[in-house]
Amino acid sequence: MGLVVGDLSAHFSRWEFDSHDGVQAHPDVRLVDALERLRSICGGRPLKIVSGYRSPAQNKAVGGAPRSQHLYNRAVDIPEGYATIAQAEQAGFRGIGSKGIWAVHVDVRSQRARWTY
């Protein structure tokens, strides 16, 4: 597997979204677009994907929700301290999991959802 930089968008590559057990991701274009908007809103700082796609086995191993948006290539976890909840909303994310004021999970599900860790 070649690690092509920026093969999905200006700042994101497909391999960044791959499941931690090696299963290749196919990120939803809406997710990638929202991540680009978030990066811009946050001053253009590089944004590391902590967790993107999760294969069913990986999702089970980490105790993920049975219908987690990670399973559908519509979610990522991002570093705490990168973006506020308000910034994530401004970027267009519908599902936002937070720790304090920080967004740590963002997704592009169809319905609005909020929760805290």
* Contacts with 50 (C-beta within 8 Å, 6 or more apart), sequence order: 76, 77, 78, 79
Domains and CATH numbers, the chain: 14-116 (3.30.1380.10)
* Contacts with 22 (C-beta within 8 Å, 6 or more apart), sequence order: none
pLDDT of 1 > 80? The answer is no
Please give the Cα distance from 87 to 38 (Å, whole number).
Answer: 7
pLDDT of 2 > 60? The answer is no
Question: What is the reported pLDDT for 6?
Answer: 77
Please give the Cα distance from 1 to 100 (Å, whole number).
Answer: 38
Percent of the chain with pLDDT over 70: 96
pLDDT of 66 > 70? The answer is yes
Nearest to 108 by CA among 66, 67, 83, 75: 75
